[in-house]
Chain A
Amino acid sequence: EAGVAQSPRYKIIEKRQSVAFWCNPISGHATLYWYQQILGQGPKLLIQFQNNGVVDDSQLPKDRFSAERLKGVDSTLKIQPAKLEDSAVYLCASSFADLRGSAGELFFGEGSRLTVL
Chain B
Amino acid sequence: KQEVTQIPAALSVPEGENLVLNCSFTDSAIYNLQWFRQDPGKGLTSLLLIQSSQREQTSGRLNASLDKSSGRSTLYIAASQPGDSATYLCAVMLRFGAGTRLTVKP
**Number of A-B residue pairs having CB atoms within 8 Å of each other in the complex:** 53
**Interface presence of B44 (CB below 8 A):** yes
Q: Which residues between 59 and 106 of chain B lie within 8 Å of chain A, taking CB atoms? A: 89, 91, 93-99
Beta-carbon contact of B32 and A43 below 8 Å: no
Which of A14-22, A71-79, A80-88, A105-113 faces chain B?
Answer: A105-113
Q: Please name all residues of chain A whose beta carbon is closer than 8 Å to the beta carbon of B28 when the two chains form the complex.
A: none
Identify whether the interface residues of B are mostly helix, strand, loop, or mixed. strand
Partner of B96, one of A44, A56, A104, A111: A44
Partner of A107, one of B46, B94, B97: B46
A40 — nearest CB in chain B belongs to which residue?
B98
Partner of B94, one of A99, A109, A111: A99
**With contacts A106-B34, A106-B91 known, is A43 near B44, CB below 8 A?**
yes
Beta-carbon contact of B94 and A108 below 8 Å: no
B44 — nearest CB in chain A belongs to which residue?
A108
B contacts with A, residue count (CB < 8 A)? 23
Beta-carbon contact of B99 and A91 below 8 Å: no
Beta-carbon contact of A99 and B43 below 8 Å: no
Q: What are 8 pairs between A and B in contact, CB < 8 Å?
A: A35-B96, A42-B96, A42-B97, A45-B94, A104-B49, A105-B34, A106-B46, A108-B45
